[in-house]
């Protein structure tokens, strides 16, 4: 028996608590984030794909699996597929009147997702946070946020390899007396700031937390604010790309390339 996938785990939690909105949101978050293998009628040509469409009593569905071997198990042999993220699939299917069958008959997370749920997922994933400017008077340790948000942020940021150095979740008091929380990114790539802000917004949405509960900010490593964040914040370390080790051969170590005498 293979280890359960993140989608299996989230699906089991949703099935165990059908009245729990948070569990259902976490399942759809995992669905949007994970890589899915979409069953095709033939090999993809350039950027054109022809998904296999299945018609059942509940409507028309495409089939996708969160492991390549699960797709092969369903078909009974290796089959053509396209590897796409759940969010890309939701964008493709929105408005098409087609649902998505996930891991059908081959995994505990087997589920038919109707077109209206796909449309909701697409709208949710497309939502972008508003840009605001506010003056922070005080940074404090974060309090009162649900563990589901912390977990969701941890998962989201673990996939943002190389987009920033670190992030800190802190409590903030703004000029004028407003209070809230801030996720401050330190050393973020400028072109990645929009994607990081969107990831933070999705973490809020899928955790069932009010969107006004957390703002997002970006700071240089040398900014004095970065030190304040580090002093009181909950730290998230973003994975960094591996730097290949460059080995310099010692002179004379290669018999085919003896050192030259000057």
What mean pLDDT, rounded, does the chain reach?
86
> What burial class does residue 1 get, using C-beta atoms within 10 Å of its C-beta: 0-12 exposed, 13-18 middle, 19+ buried?
exposed
Q: Are 178 and 134 in contact (CB under 8 A)?
A: yes
- Residue 49 confidence class, pLDDT cut points 50, 70, 90: confident
Residue that the structure tokens 């964008």 belong to: 91
The pLDDT, as a whole number, for residue 126 is 79
| Nearest partner of 14 among 33, 31, 28, 27, judged by Cα | 27
Q: Give the mean pLDDT of 232-252.
A: 71
State both tokens at 34: 């994970």
Q: Which residues pair with 237 in a beta bridge?
A: 166
Residue 201 has pLDDT above 90, yes or no: no
The pLDDT, as a whole number, for residue 5 is 94
Highest mean pLDDT among 125-129, 180-184, 230-234: 230-234
The pLDDT, as a whole number, for residue 113 is 95
Q: Give the mean pLDDT of 50-56.
A: 90
Rounded CA-CA distance 253/121 in Å is 60
The pLDDT, as a whole number, for residue 3 is 86
Highest mean pLDDT among 94-103, 175-184, 235-244: 94-103
List domains and CATH numbers for the chain: 6-126 (no CATH), 136-237 (3.30.300)
CA quadruple 29, 32, 37, 41: dihedral, nearest 10: 130
């Amino acid at each position: 028996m293979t280890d359960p996938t993140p989608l299996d785990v989230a699906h089991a939690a949703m099935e165990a608590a059908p009245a729990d909105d948070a569990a259902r949101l976490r399942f759809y978050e995992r669905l949007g984030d994970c890589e899915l293998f979409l069953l095709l009628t033939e090999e993809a040509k350039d950027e054109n794909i022809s998904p296999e469409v299945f018609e059942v009593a509940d409507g028309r569905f495409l089939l996708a699996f969160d492991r390549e071997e699960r797709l092969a198990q369903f078909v009974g042999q290796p089959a053509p597929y396209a590897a796409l993220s759940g969010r890309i699939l939701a964008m493709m299917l929105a408005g098409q009147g087609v649902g998505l069958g996930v891991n059908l008959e081959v995994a505990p997370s087997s589920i038919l997702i109707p077109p209206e749920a796909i449309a909701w997922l697409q709208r949710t994933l497309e939502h972008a946070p508003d840009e605001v400017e506010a003056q922070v008077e005080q940074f404090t340790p974060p309090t009162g946020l649900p563990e589901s948000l912390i977990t969701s942020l941890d998962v989201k940021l673990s996939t943002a390899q190389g987009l920033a150095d670190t992030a800190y979740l802190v409590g903030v008091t703004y000029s004028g007396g407003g209070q809230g929380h801030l996720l401050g990114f330190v050393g973020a790539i400028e072109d990645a700031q929009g994607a990081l802000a969107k990831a933070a917004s999705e973490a809020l949405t899928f955790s069932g937390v009010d969107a006004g509960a957390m703002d997002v900010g970006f700071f240089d490593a040398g900014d004095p604010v970065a030190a304040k964040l580090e002093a009181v914040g909950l730290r998230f370390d973003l994975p960094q790309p591996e730097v290949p080790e460059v080995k310099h051969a010692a002179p004379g170590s290669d018999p085919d390339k003896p050192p030259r005498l000057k």
